[in-house]
Amino acid sequence: MKLYRFLSGPDDATFCHKVTAALNKGWHLFGSPTYAYDKTTKSMRCGQAVVKDIEGQEYGPDTKLSEW
Which tens digits make up the pLDDT trace of 3-57?
A: 999 999 999 999 999 999 999 999 999 999 999 999 999 999 999 999 999 999 8
The Cα–Cα gap between 24 and 38 comes to 28
Question: Which has the closest alpha carbon to 15: 47, 43, 59, 63?
Answer: 47
Asked whether residue 16 is domain-assigned, the answer is yes
pLDDT of residue 30: 98
Domain span at 33: 2-55
The Cα–Cα gap between 29 and 5 comes to 10
The tally of domains found in the chain comes to 1
H or E element in which residue 6 lies = strand 2-10
Q: Beta 28-38 vs 2-10: how paired, if at all?
A: unpaired
pLDDT band at residue 65 using 50, 70 and 90 as cut-offs: confident
